[in-house]
Amino acid sequence: MTDEITFLREMLEIYSPSGREGEIAAYLVARMREMGFRAYMDGAGNAVGIMGDGERELMLLSHMDTVEGFIPVRMQDGRLYGRGAVDAKGPLAAFVLAAARVGPIPNWRIVVVGAVEEESSSRGARHLLGYFSPQAVIIGEPGGWEHITLGYKGRLRVLYRLAAPVRHSTAEGPSAAEQAIRFWNRLTEFAGELNRGERFRFHTLDPTLHKITTHNGGFEEEVVMDITLRVPLGVSITEVKDRIRSWAGDAAVGFGGEDVPYKAEKNTPLVRAFLQAIRSQGGTPTFKVKLGTSDMNTVGPIWRCPIIAYGPGDSRLDHTPEEHLDLEEFRKAIGVLERVIGRMTQ
């Protein structure tokens, strides 16, 4: 087993669900120092490694938190299984290893960050905004070693709660549960009207009802819904929130998990560096956009520099019990990143 595989395996063996990243952060800081980085844990708990001391910054930002659910780490048929193998400890490990291979470059700082809480609040990425001003950013997310991800849809979480006095089933008017269903139907009708004729899901507004619960306390009946909206470019989250408030009636609605949609420019030096690097490894580069969100949604609109997302792994395995990473793909991604770093810092 090579050192690079050992490094990734040890990362996977540290369970680090969102909000509990302290152990993996300490591990990464120690290992990055061994590899020649100036490494530290910042005020948010991010693991930060800096290679070189120039004035220009190239940021490689991935995340070290995972969703809940430990997967026993094992090797099988050239694959490494474990929670975070693709989302996103695999990409993060590739970032660290590639930057370490390149080493210090005159006039540049290569900044590698393992961020906290990407799976929940993006608190780690938000913390970085006040401390760095990079010339280019690579976000570590799985997309496959031949693929370049240019954009992500936005997100809005909607919490709906309606409480009403208990009433007899023969009483006139809708029950609390029926009012909640009418609200949900109005939301899906609005999405259907907005999406009419659009087949590409990156351009559609997609509501998902995660949970609906009802409770009768004897004197009051309550219904609660937890909804997520995936928001496309061109749709104002502010306007969507205003419409939702207008449909709520007597219900209370709250919002959270708000991320604006974001798509990066294609004609940039960073994209050209990736195209060349992937071809040099024998790959055929292609572009992707994704239906979820990432830290690109957080940092892209603020830093306003060339940015893409890249990383080994099949994103369809995100959050699943069979999460695993093909190790040959992992090695190829490291090679691509090494060449991109070299080209971007010439």
Task: Report, as residue numbers or ranges, the catalytic residues.
Answer: 65, 118
Q: Which of 202, 245, 239, 207 is nearest to 226 (CA)?
A: 207
Can you tell me the distance from the alpha carbon of 286 to that of 289, in angstroms, rounded to the nearest whole number?
A: 10
Cβ pair 116, 25 in contact under 8 A? yes
CA distances from 270 to 329, 336, 345 (A): 21, 12, 10
3-class state of residue 298 by DSSP: helix
Strand ranges inside 145-189, DSSP E: 147-152, 154-165
Cβ pair 302, 125 in contact under 8 A? no
Strands across the sheet with 79-81, in order?
74-76, 79-81, 324-326
Q: Which residue in this structure is represented by tokens 């540290």?
A: 14
**Greatest distance between any 2 Cα atoms in the chain:** 79
Q: Which of 120, 129, 142 is nearest to 21 (CA)?
A: 120
3-class state of residue 141 by DSSP: coil
> DSSP state, 344?
H
